Chain A
Amino acid sequence: MSISKVVSGVEEACSGVEDGMTLMLGGFGLCGIPENCIEQLVKLGVKDVTCISNNAGVDGFGLGKLLSGHQIHKMISSYVGENDEFERQMLSGELEVDLIPQGSLAERCRAGGAGIPAFYTPAGYGTEVAEGKEVREFNGKPHILESALTADFAFVKAWKGDAAGNLIFKATARNFNPMMAMAGKITIAEVEELVPVGDIDPNEIHTPGIFVQRIFQGKSFERRIEQRTVRPLNSPS
């Protein structure tokens, strides 16, 4: 008998999120972000949250919505380029920002979910990322010690999910979602399509439902494209 993770909707899914909490949000750019939960966090008006997310959205969409409401106290990201309000808040000191290499960010989330408190990586050695961190040589090459990340809530977006919380992601919308699902004390999955248990082939599941505490089918997904690049119909490939 599977354990049902289904909640009634985004309101129930996001209940318990409080001021000052640490939140993880999946996505790369605007691809695979938990749009419905971000809307709900704006509605709830939670303040002083720390957001762990590879990027910070754009003005008026994604995490840009939380930024414009001054709800974020600190961002932990690898790249935050595309957002004027972000830049303004960072330069004025309203927003604390911790920039970390993308692979280290992914692995720190994975480690957090996998019960590994820290790991050594060569990324960032000799740079300001290494400041204050333990350095140790392995096979003649220096590495720095990076610690695991966890969150009070992790918000992930999947293509398909079943009532047991098993998830399948689509194309490159997978990105950080699986590791963040592992690293959340409470992980909330919003899916485009919620199916009954048994409808998904167990061979094809990307994230096992054990990592997901709440799941719901999102009301709507804008799935905004950040950089629309195309070629004309008759061009060579």
Chain B
Amino acid sequence: MLDKNGIATRIAQEVRDGWYVNLGIGIPTLVANHIQKGMEVEFQSENGILGMGPFPIEGSEDADLINAGKQTITAMPGAVYFDSATSFAMIRGRHVQLTVLGAMEVSVNGDIANWKIPGKMVKGMGGAMDLVASADNIVVAMMHTNRAGESKLLPTCSLPLTGVGCVKRVVTNLAVLDIKDGAFHLIERAPGVSVQEIIDATAGELIAPSDVPEMTL
């Protein structure tokens, strides 16, 4: 079973040389720490930076330089700042090759819910709806089950949707799964996790070949 850094490590393997990548808040942010050395990749943060770098050295933080999670960051050489309309033109216009974001629920037809729990405080969708509606390549990073132990991979989402039919790949603490033809397809198992454990933790239809390779991390 993977921890959050393990999930991020596996997702980092999805990143290709020369890609622009948007990372959401939480586990997706950790992906930046696991990119293969020597790869040319630029991170976009939708509040208006391309070429986002690591957190600043203590004492050098700048209130005017933050990411979409409102955290202080740095800019890499070659970075650029822009306004929010330009930022979402990059996203909507499909100039960003990969979007990684978290989810509360994902369904067999690629629907995603990650912004609202009815009856609880609604914080808003931020840029998530724009991101999922436009990106060609969306990878969801999440735990396979919620705190109550219930599957987050469902026949249909029960929570209000963020986007429909948009998620193609999910990486969880248990597995890598692709979504196609109205089902989850088991691609890889996390180290030490059996196919049966994944079947038990997946509520939506799961297609699992007899031999499923273990992730190489």
- Tell me the minimal C-beta distance from B113 to chain A in angstroms: 9
> Which B110-163 residues have a C-beta within 8 angstroms of A?
111, 121-130, 133-134, 160-163
Jot down 20 A-B pairs with beta carbons below 8 A, ordered by A. Answer: A31-B47, A31-B70, A78-B126, A79-B123, A81-B123, A90-B122, A91-B121, A101-B125, A103-B129, A121-B130, A121-B133, A124-B133, A171-B62, A172-B65, A206-B83, A227-B66, A227-B69, A230-B56, A230-B57, A231-B56
A91, A126, A227: the one within 8 Å of B164 (CB): A126
**A128 to B87 CA separation, bound complex (whole angstroms):** 24
CB distance B92 to A121 under 8 Å?
yes
Given known A102-B88, A123-B134, A227-B71, contact A28–B48 (CB-CB < 8 A): yes
**A126 to B156 CA separation, bound complex (whole angstroms):** 13
Residues of A within 8 A of B46 (CB): 102-103
**A232 to B47 CA separation, bound complex (whole angstroms):** 25
Query: Could you count the A-B residue pairs with CB atoms below 8 Å apart for me: how many are there?
Result: 187
B48, B85, B128, B161: the one within 8 Å of A126 (CB): B161
Given known A127-B161, A230-B55, A230-B56, contact A104–B130 (CB-CB < 8 A): yes
Assign chain B's interface to a size class. Answer: 35 or more
Q: Which residues of A contact B (CB under 8 A)?
A: 28-32, 54, 77-82, 87, 90-91, 97, 99, 101-107, 109-110, 121-129, 159, 169-179, 206, 223-233, 235, 237
Q: Which residues of B contact A (CB under 8 A)?
A: 45-49, 53-73, 75, 81-85, 87-88, 91-92, 111, 121-130, 133-134, 160-165
CB distance A228 to B61 under 8 Å?
yes
Given known A101-B127, A123-B130, A172-B65, contact A237–B53 (CB-CB < 8 A): yes
CB distance B55 to A229 under 8 Å?
yes
In the complex, the chain B residue whose C-beta lies closest to that of A114 is B85
- Tell me the minimal C-beta distance from A41 to chain B in angstroms: 21
Residues of B within 8 A of A206 (CB): 83
**A128 to B116 CA separation, bound complex (whole angstroms):** 11
Residues of B within 8 A of A228 (CB): 61, 71-72
CB distance B62 to A226 under 8 Å?
no
CB distance B130 to A101 under 8 Å?
yes
Residues of A within 8 A of B125 (CB): 78-79, 99, 101-102, 129
Residues of A within 8 A of B53 (CB): 237
In the complex, the chain A residue whose C-beta lies closest to that of B60 is A230
Residues of B within 8 A of A107 (CB): 85, 88
CB distance B66 to A226 under 8 Å?
yes
In the complex, the chain B residue whose C-beta lies closest to that of A234 is B57
In the complex, the chain B residue whose C-beta lies closest to that of A109 is B85
Residues of A within 8 A of B133 (CB): 121-125
CB distance A170 to B55 under 8 Å?
no
**A232 to B95 CA separation, bound complex (whole angstroms):** 34
Given contacts A79-B123, A175-B83, 16 further A-B contacts (CB under 8 A): A28-B68, A30-B63, A78-B124, A79-B124, A80-B123, A102-B125, A106-B84, A159-B64, A172-B49, A178-B83, A178-B85, A179-B85, A227-B69, A227-B70, A230-B56, A231-B54
Residues of A within 8 A of B66 (CB): 28-29, 31, 172, 225-227
CB distance A127 to B64 under 8 Å?
no
CB distance A103 to B73 under 8 Å?
no
Residues of B within 8 A of A172 (CB): 45, 47-49, 64-67, 81
Residues of B within 8 A of A233 (CB): 57-58
In the complex, the chain A residue whose C-beta lies closest to that of B65 is A171
- Tell me the minimal C-beta distance from B95 to chain A in angstroms: 13
**A211 to B140 CA separation, bound complex (whole angstroms):** 40
Residues of B within 8 A of A104 (CB): 129-130
